[in-house]
Amino acid sequence: MRVLAITVANLRRLFRDRSNIFFIFILPIGIILLIGAQFGGGGEGTTWAVSAGEGELTTALVSRLEETPGVAVERHDTVDEMILEVERGTVSAGLAIPPDFDAAIAAGQTPEVGLVVRPSQGGSGSLVPILRAALSEVTGVVRVARVVAERSGAAVEEVLATVSAISAPGVEVIRRTVGDSLFPAGIGQFSVGAAQELVLFVFLTVLAGSAALIQSRQLGVTRRMLSTPTSPNTIVVGEGAGRMATGLVQGLYIVLVTSVVFGVRWGNLLAVTALLVTLSGVGAGAAMLLGTVFRNDQQAGGISVLLSLGLAALGGCMLPIELFSPTMTRVAHATPHAWALDGFADLVYRDGGLVDVLPEVTVLTAYASVLLALSAWRLRRAITAT
């Protein structure tokens, strides 16, 4: 119970500082939004969200898009659902086919087909030719049948049956992909940035707690705890648990908000939790170690920020590690950040599970075990010497 009380006290102390509200809850989401808006979206190929009714021509149009090389189609029941996917950046474009599409074509009218794209994706310049080609192919037979019927005076239905049976040789297009794609096709616009910022801010938030550890000793909080029936070991465990709880709160908040607001698919919840727990453990061990190395909270606070940002940059939190050279990739894996990002890549990019992230969880556990053991030893000495 005393360990839990120390943990809760650390959390209350963290959120009592109003500036932490900005850095923990507002800043991470703002950066994820900025990265997604500027650089997000786009794996290999194009994904269309389609809202369509029933009808032979409507079905043929959707099928024609699905057969287009490099195009994937997601079907949605309503236009609002389709627009929401475009806004979230999980698809390249949205297509709204009106319910009366077939009837309008049969009556010789020109139905309006809605195309929805995000301005940040370069507009509709590269998408319109795809849509026009599909529309021309699907409606071409009907338009030819109407012209022939007008000239011959025959019924449109009779001419349509005759024209539909005519086939002509076409051009075969073979599409090959050379090399490996950096990111899988259809990955959400905010998915890459969300994983990077989650790792960066979990470690940064936990490491910044080193200053509070020093303040506790300076203000006599630790001395007063020792005057009660609380052992030094209990204080050490409570302080470590408090910092791990801080990391979990930060990480789960980012996961929840990005899932609901940005549509990021984090995958297996148990695997996400395992990565967050072990990453928070690494940060807790590092924070407690810094809290015993420096004499005042200003030194610990400044160094913790510089160290967090430096490790984040080296570990792939500021530039996707997929863009690193082979040598820099090996160097990056000296940091826990790179291992955590590998784990989240297995979940977000490849729909992995707990088994897939076990190597990364094992490495992070090793980091955490070494840091927590060393920091616990030093913190116990510092507490008993207070």
Structure tokens at 211: 């200053």
- Is 174 contained in some domain? no
Query: Do 153 and 235 reside in the same domain of the chain?
Result: no
Instruction: Tell me the sheet residues that pair with 93.
Output: 48
- Is 173 contained in some domain? no
Query: Do 214 and 272 reside in the same domain of the chain?
Result: yes
Report pLDDT digits (tens) over 120-173: 555 555 677 878 888 887 777 777 777 777 777 666 566 666 655 555 555 565
Q: What is the band of 192 on the pLDDT scale with cuts at 50, 70, 90?
A: confident
Q: Which domain holds residue 15?
A: 2-40+188-384
The structure's pTM equals 0.70
- Is 249 contained in some domain? yes
Cβ neighbours for 83, distance < 8 A, ≥ 6 positions apart: 94, 116
Query: Do 198 and 127 reside in the same domain of the chain?
Result: no
Cβ neighbours for 113, distance < 8 A, ≥ 6 positions apart: 95, 96, 97, 98, 101, 131, 135
Query: Do 359 and 219 reside in the same domain of the chain?
Result: yes
- Is 82 contained in some domain? yes
Report pLDDT digits (tens) over 342-374: 999 999 988 899 999 999 999 999 999 999 999
Q: What is the band of 16 on the pLDDT scale with cuts at 50, 70, 90?
A: confident
- Is 175 contained in some domain? no
Nearest to 131 by CA among 61, 202, 212: 61
Query: Do 230 and 327 reside in the same domain of the chain?
Result: yes
Structure tokens at 94: 């949205």
CB 113 within 8 A of CB 101: yes
What is the model's pLDDT at position 23? 87
Report pLDDT digits (tens) over 222-260: 778 877 888 888 888 998 999 999 999 999 999 999 999
